């Protein structure tokens, strides 16, 4: 078990899943949020990565470089290995787990969208055995059937007939129920129990059959959750500062606000003066958490009080001029769980993620198998970018230079014996009554974000 496991920032699903399969941070792979403005394109266009068709079109238009670095599926194919993805996330998130699967001849199956299937033959076999691919459930209703459908598809079709070198089984629950019911609501607890049972089916198979065939298991989550406790007047604040706001580029719009829990603001005229004016208005509001802008030096951004974007590994041509998280505290929510942020989009009482609160950044990391130390609880910091290089290490494939994550050698039976040293750093910046901290930790050449907050 990885006791100090963290995700990346923004702690959003499709950004984190891209980091999981590329082994690197958003400043390298370029998927800087679930949604973002692709300003370098001509004309600039709004990108919603939940749209699988758009992802496919963008990859074609970019000559195969929509994602800026190779992903796990590509690396495995180049080494004569196979990869299969079975996921009940959004159509785009499922595609992002191996966005070149169709070209590479690798299997992808969706728990909801049969159009995503990259092998008609495999989809036909699965549906002949299990029935039609389940339709999405209404918001607020636990999405259970799709999770059982994919578990059975893996156990009864994909493994027996393909035996891929790497299989990714991605459950959309309990994330869905956390968002639309609340992180401790009865429906969410039902979803958690159901997913535990589905993973239990995989464990039963692994113990009876998989481990004897040298199969390793990696259990991971892409982020944590916190509960909204107050609404933020983001649009009103910016408009009071003289910035006309909208969700996409349009005549008369000064600030494009990307919807979601992560604050991403693209200015039509992104001068340093305009950025400073917007940030100055924001940091006066009680909902404003950590703020990031283009770097002015090694720590501070161009706007007083802001951090440089590179500190959170999201300094990319697609990045927002102003990137921020809503302020969050360590108070207990109605479910008795720690972590309460503000939000401009989500209702009070619902679960969210995307920011830098420690609970949002917290991630599950558990490994097991013949080459993994049994019973180890590692206190060495680790992150979602470490999974791809570690999987390659288990397959004796060299980690490519594009990956910033490291091989988790400390959990291998033949891995490092010396204690890995973690070096923690706290950065601080302020302006008037606004103060923010960010905590990072380094293990060798690999750096992780721990958390950040505004005070």
**Residue 15 and residue 43 share a domain:** yes
Name, in order, each residue with C-beta under 8 angstroms of 443's C-beta and a sequence gap of 6 or more: 380, 381, 382, 406, 420, 421, 422, 423
Residue identified by tokens 């992002």 is 96
**pLDDT range class, residue 259, cuts 50, 70, 90:** confident
**pLDDT range class, residue 156, cuts 50, 70, 90:** very high
pLDDT in tens, 207-216: 999 999 999 9
**Residue 153 and residue 61 share a domain:** yes
Average pLDDT over residues 183-204: 98
d(CA 328, CA 7) in angstroms, rounded, equals 17
d(CA 8, CA 17) in angstroms, rounded, equals 10
**Residue 53 and residue 105 share a domain:** yes
Name, in order, each residue with C-beta under 8 angstroms of 161's C-beta and a sequence gap of 6 or more: 122, 125
**Residue 294 and residue 433 share a domain:** yes
| Count of C-beta atoms within a 10 Å radius of residue 269 | 10
CA distances from 89 to 52, 116, 307 (A): 11, 12, 32
**pLDDT range class, residue 53, cuts 50, 70, 90:** very high
Strand partners, 107: 84
Average pLDDT over residues 11-16: 97
The answer to whether 230 and 324 have CB atoms below 8 angstroms apart is: no
pLDDT in tens, 60-70: 999 999 999 99
Question: Does 348 fall in a domain?
Answer: no
Q: Does 353 score more than 70 pLDDT? A: yes
For position 417, what pLDDT does the model report? 64
**Residue 366 and residue 315 share a domain:** no
Question: Does 246 fall in a domain?
Answer: yes
**Residue 76 and residue 143 share a domain:** yes
CA distances from 124 to 158, 251, 448 (A): 12, 49, 43
pLDDT in tens, 405-426: 999 999 999 877 667 899 999 9
**Residue 160 and residue 292 share a domain:** no
CA distances from 34 to 74, 170, 225, 252, 318 (A): 22, 17, 16, 25, 12
Nearest of 328, 324, 241 to residue 280 by alpha carbon: 241
**Residue 54 and residue 126 share a domain:** yes
Angle, CA 165 vertex, CA 402 and CA 214 arms, to 5°: 115
Residue 108, domain CATH: 3.40.720.10
Average pLDDT over residues 51-79: 96
Q: Does 333 score more than 90 pLDDT? A: yes
**What percent of the chain is modeled with pLDDT above 70?**
100
Question: Does 347 fall in a domain?
Answer: no
The chain-wide mean pLDDT, for the chain, equals 96
For position 45, what pLDDT does the model report? 87
Strand partners, 87: 110, 170
**Residue 219 and residue 111 share a domain:** yes
d(CA 384, CA 220) in angstroms, rounded, equals 8
Domain that holds residue 203: 5-227+358-411
Beta strands 328-332 and 338-343, pairing class: antiparallel
- Burial (0-12, 13-18, 19+ Cβ within 10 Å), 252: exposed
**Residue 166 and residue 96 share a domain:** yes
**pLDDT range class, residue 318, cuts 50, 70, 90:** very high
- pTM (2 decimals)? 0.96
**Residue 116 and residue 256 share a domain:** no
Question: Does 297 fall in a domain?
Answer: yes
Average pLDDT over residues 30-34: 97
Residue 246 main-chain phi, psi, to 5 deg = -160, 165
The answer to whether 165 and 82 have CB atoms below 8 angstroms apart is: yes
For position 419, what pLDDT does the model report? 78
**Residue 305 and residue 253 share a domain:** yes
Question: Does 351 fall in a domain?
Answer: no
**pLDDT range class, residue 328, cuts 50, 70, 90:** very high
Question: Does 341 fall in a domain?
Answer: no
For position 428, what pLDDT does the model report? 97
Residue identified by tokens 């609160």 is 357
CA distances from 159 to 107, 150, 166 (A): 11, 12, 10
The answer to whether 206 and 321 have CB atoms below 8 angstroms apart is: no
pLDDT in tens, 92-134: 999 999 999 999 999 999 999 999 999 999 999 999 999 999 9
Question: Does 338 fall in a domain?
Answer: no
Q: Report the domain count for the chain.
A: 2
Question: Does 153 fall in a domain?
Answer: yes
The answer to whether 302 and 276 have CB atoms below 8 angstroms apart is: yes
Average pLDDT over residues 354-382: 96
């Amino acid at each position: 078990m990885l006791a100090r496991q963290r995700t990346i920032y923004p702690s959003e699903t499709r950004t984190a899943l891209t980091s999981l399969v590329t082994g690197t941070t958003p400043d390298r792979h370029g998927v800087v949020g679930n949604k973002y403005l692709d300003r370098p394109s001509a004309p600039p266009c709004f990108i919603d990565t939940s749209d699988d068709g758009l992802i496919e079109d963008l990859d074609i238009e970019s000559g195969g470089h929509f994602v800026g670095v190779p992903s796990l599926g590509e690396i495995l194919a180049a080494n004569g290995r196979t990869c299969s993805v079975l996921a009940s996330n959004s159509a785009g998130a499922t595609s992002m787990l191996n966005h070149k699967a169709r070209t590479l001849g690798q299997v992808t199956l969706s728990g909801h969208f049969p159009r995503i299937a990259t092998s008609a033959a495999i989809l036909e076999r699965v549906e002949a055995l299990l029935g039609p691919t389940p339709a999405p459930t209404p918001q607020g209703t636990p999405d259970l059937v799709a999770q059982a459908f994919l578990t059975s598809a893996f156990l009864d079709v994909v493994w027996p007939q393909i035996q891929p070198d790497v299989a990714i089984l991605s459950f959309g629950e309990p994330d869905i129920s956390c968002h639309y019911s609340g992180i401790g609501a009865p429906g969410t607890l039902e979803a958690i129990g159901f997913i535990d049972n589905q993973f239990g089916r995989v464990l039963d198979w692994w113990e009876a059959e998989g481990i004897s065939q040298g199969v390793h298991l990696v259990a991971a989550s892409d982020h944590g959750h916190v509960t909204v406790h107050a609404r933020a007047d983001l649009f009103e604040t910016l408009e009071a500062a003289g910035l006309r706001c909208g969700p996409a580029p349009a005549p008369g719009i000064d600030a494009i606000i990307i919807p979601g829990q992560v604050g991403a603001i693209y200015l039509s005229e992104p001068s340093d003066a305009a950025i400073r004016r917007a940030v100055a208005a924001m940091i006066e509001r009680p909902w404003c958490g950590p703020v990031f802008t283009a770097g002015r030096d090694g720590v501070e951004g161009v706007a007083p009080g802001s951090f440089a974007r590179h500190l959170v590994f999201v300094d990319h041509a697609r990045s927002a001029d102003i990137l921020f998280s809503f302020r969050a505290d360590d108070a207990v929510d109605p479910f008795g769980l720690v972590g309460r942020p503000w939000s401009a989009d989500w209702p009070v009482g619902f679960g969210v993620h995307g920011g830098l609160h420690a609970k949002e950044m917290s991630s599950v990391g558990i490994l097991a198998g013949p080459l993994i130390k049994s019973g180890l609880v590692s206190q060495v910091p680790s992150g979602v970018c470490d999974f791809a290089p570690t999987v390659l290490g288990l397959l004796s494939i060299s980690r490519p230079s594009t990956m910033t994550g490291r091989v988790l050698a400390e959990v291998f039976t033949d891995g490092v014996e010396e204690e890995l040293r973690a070096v923690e750093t706290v950065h601080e910046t302020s302006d008037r009554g606004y103060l923010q901290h960010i905590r990072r930790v380094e293990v060798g050449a690999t750096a992780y974000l721990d958390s950040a907050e505004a005070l």
